[in-house]
Amino acid sequence: MNRRAEKGFSLLETLFAMAVILVGILGIFGLFQSGLANMRMASVKMRAALLASNFLEEVKAYGFNNLPTAGTVASMASSSSGRITDFPAPYEGTAAISNVSEDLNGDGANDYADKSGNSMLREIAITVRIPGAFKDMTFRTRISRP
């Protein structure tokens, strides 16, 4: 029988083709795994943003005159260090408040101060430590005197 006349694939050719297909399938599964990890992190970050947003709304509800002038927002954060204790584990948050002092027109004076020099604008910063993330997320808002 003439070997050249036979049709089909050898065992070696079949194994090589299966190996190439397997590498392609494994690559696709790797992409799915990466996509799932990114979806989980996005969900965690969105939850952190929601927690910070809710806390910022609570702070804004206090009103400008009831806010401390600077430092940590201890009374609202339920902690003297400014750590927000209502955040569910594993999230950690800190809150800080500061008077805004900016010279917008270049005359050397605080453009956000009244005639007696008191700041009319305060900035509240909420920093949320996210589990598994490389850096913290900070959310800021400003509240002005009515």
Going by C-alpha positions, the residue among 84, 96, 109 that lies closest to residue 140 is 96
pLDDT at 77: 46
Q: What is the DSSP letter of 66?
A: G
**Does residue 42 sit within a domain?**
yes
- Reduced to 3 states (helix: H, G, I; strand: E, B; else coil), residue 79 is coil
Does 18 reside within a domain? yes
Does 35 reside within a domain?
yes
Per-residue pLDDT at 20: 93
Residue 3: inside a domain: no
Tokens representing residue 44 in the block: 């965690």
Q: How many CB atoms lie within 10 A of CB 51?
A: 19
Task: Label residue 75 left, alpha or beta by phi (over 0 means left) and psi (-120 to 50 means alpha).
Answer: alpha
Could you tell me the residue range of the domain that residue 68 belongs to? 9-144
The pLDDT of residue 15: 92
**CA 77/CA 96 separation, integer angstroms:** 9
Does residue 38 sit within a domain?
A: yes
Q: Is residue 4 part of a domain?
A: no
Classify residue 48: in a domain, yes or no.
Answer: yes
The pTM of the full predicted model, rounded to 2 decimals, is: 0.62
Tell me if 91 is assigned to some domain: yes
- pLDDT in 10s for each residue of the chain, 146 residues: 556 666 777 888 899 999 999 999 998 988 888 899 889 888 888 888 888 888 888 777 777 777 776 665 544 444 445 556 666 767 777 788 888 888 787 787 788 788 887 788 888 888 888 777 778 888 888 888 87
How many domains would you assign to the chain? 1
Rounded to whole angstroms, how far apart are CA atoms 2 and 66? Answer: 99
pLDDT of residue 25: 92
